[in-house]
Amino acid sequence: MTKSTLLLFDIDGTILTSGGAGECALRRGFLQEFGLVEDLTAVEISGRTDSGIARRVLDKHGLEATPENLHRFFEGYLRQLELELPTRSGRVLPGVLPLLHCLRERAHISLGLLTGNLERGARLKLQHYGVQGIFAFGAYADDHHDRNMLGGFALGRAKEIHGVEFDPARTYVIGDTPHDITCARACGARAIAVATGSFSVEQLAEHQPDALFADLSDLPSVLRALGEEAS
């Protein structure tokens, strides 16, 4: 069956929470690589890309975002992330696994990632929490530091894999921040917001997503928001 529906999932705050492993890894990696203390104050994390965060942190300390400095930042972060994940009480968020298992059985649906994580960081997190092997492709912070640019990468990779252009009306971005909603709008997709991250239902509602949930545990309702029938 030809794929006709494209679902693009955010990771942190949508699929899982790492219990603070990511932020701790950013701080410790930066200290290890640059010898500078960074407490991440005045640096927005939620909904931003790792490459965008790196640029903000480097700028805050008067360092240029050169390819060398970015590489050092990323390597320090990823090294620390691998160490931090096993020490944290993170988890897969409510309703995620039943939803993903249901969706992957539907032959017309393609599942991908649209995340602010670096690709290696995304894989570390998904593997640690047992959610690997579900997503055929993704768009990551490696592709661009501006999250609003990532939709184009995701759509391009979906076309490469499946050989079809996905209709924006049948493309959904599922995320937990206003930035995910904006990102969906930037590529013409529908926005499904879930308040399992750092933004409340009320805060997300202000950005007028196409559908909004407290979490993803109401499977029939989430399926309907994705244009699917409950089996």
- As a whole number of angstroms, the distance between CA 167 and CA 222 comes to 20
- As a whole number of angstroms, the distance between CA 113 and CA 26 comes to 22
- Which positions ≥6 away from 180 have C-beta within 8 Å? 10, 14, 47, 114, 147, 173, 174, 191, 193
> Is the pLDDT reported for residue 158 higher than 80?
yes
Q: Where are the alpha helices (DSSP H) in the chain?
A: 21-34, 50-60, 67-84, 96-104, 119-128, 150-162, 178-186, 201-205, 219-225
* pLDDT of amino acid 145: 96
**For residues 66-93, average pLDDT:** 97
Instruction: Report residue 201 CA to chain centroid gap.
Output: 18
Candidates 134, 124, 128, 106; CA nearest to 9 is 134
* pLDDT of amino acid 46: 85
* pLDDT of amino acid 105: 94
* pLDDT of amino acid 44: 83
Q: What share of the chain in percent tops pLDDT 70?
A: 100
| Whether 189 contacts 172, CB under 8 Å | yes
Candidates 199, 198, 201; CA nearest to 214 is 201
* pLDDT of amino acid 41: 84
* pLDDT of amino acid 91: 97
**5-17+91-225 belongs to CATH 3.40.50.1000:** yes
Model confidence over 21-33: pLDDT tens digits? 999 999 999 999 9
pTM given for the model: 0.95
**For residues 149-177, average pLDDT:** 95
**pLDDT classification of 94: cutoffs 50, 70, 90:** very high
Angle between helices 67-84 and 119-128 (to 10 degrees): 0
